[in-house]
Amino acid sequence: MTTAEQEQRPLFGLRPGDRALVIAPHPDDETIGPGGTIARLAAEGVEVHVLCVTVRAARMWGSTSEPTVRYAEFDKACAALGVARSTIAWVDETGELDISTRQRALVDLIERHEEVSLATVRPQALLIPSSGGFHQDHQAVHRAAFAAARVQPEGLKPTPRLVLGYRGVEDRWSAENESWWVHVDTGRFWPAKEEALRAYGTQMRAQGPRSIEQIHMIDAAAGSSLNFACAETFVPYRMAYGQS
């Protein structure tokens, strides 16, 4: 099969007009983790929607987090990736919100948020943080999204047939991790991911795991064994094929 023929095959069996929902703990997680895959899906006619759980006003290592600035960065990044609709659900003005103590509210948010959720998007594909993340917010959002994605009778609640876990660059410091079995060729979409990363001026760093150079190196390394210029990898929690 030629490269051109491979590129014409729909990613994950999704077709133009299908919908994907991405759950991001914070603005920038949707770009650092699955940004190239989002850009590819959007380019192939899939409607991609992003639900970002929270942004907080707080001091950070190397910068500060100001919600108004983070909103603008998020909007710019989502536009670069071709996202159809995006929203940030919870704004923490004091920096004291601990979402790990709000598990039931998190599940309800992912299931029923009035702008972007399982109920409003009714996605065929759901991308969530993997369980191997070490950030407490990522762990909480993973558990909530995993619970929200449980299989329900047809017509009761949307059940995505595809559920994949993505990871962030800072999840890689330990040897303890999940197996990554799904690889997406994102080589042609690195420019879109890079543009989205550059939108996050307060979150990127000149060096280290949050530098654009190192994120590109990670994506290039993921693709190298498959003869891809870049790739993103996912944990397959559910990949179901049947009647559409």
Angle value at C-alpha 88, between 82 and 94, nearest 5 degrees: 145
Q: Give φ, ψ of 205 to 5 degrees.
A: -125, 160
Contact criterion met (CB below 8 Å) for 46 and 182? no
**Model confidence over 56-92: pLDDT tens digits?**
776 665 566 687 888 999 999 999 999 999 999 999 8
CA distance 185 to 228: 6
- Rounded to whole angstroms, how far apart are CA atoms 198 and 25? 19
Quote the mean pLDDT of the chain.
89
d(CA 164, CA 22): 10
Q: Which residue has the tokens 């001091």?
A: 59
d(Cα 110, Cα 117) in Å, to the nearest integer?
Answer: 5
For residue 178, give the 3-state DSSP assignment. coil
pLDDT higher than threshold 50 for residue 5: no
CATH code of the domain made up of 16-239: 3.40.50.10320
Examine the pLDDT at 110 and tell me if it is beyond 70. Answer: yes
Give 162-199 pLDDT, tens digit per residue. Answer: 999 998 876 665 655 677 789 999 999 999 999 999 99
Q: Which of 125, 225, 207 is nearest to 169 (CA)?
A: 207
pLDDT tens track for 115-154? 999 999 999 999 999 988 888 899 999 999 999 999 988 7
More confident residue, 79 or 155: 79
Count the Cβ atoms, other than its own, within 10 Å of residue 241: 9
Nearest to 184 by CA among 134, 237, 235: 235
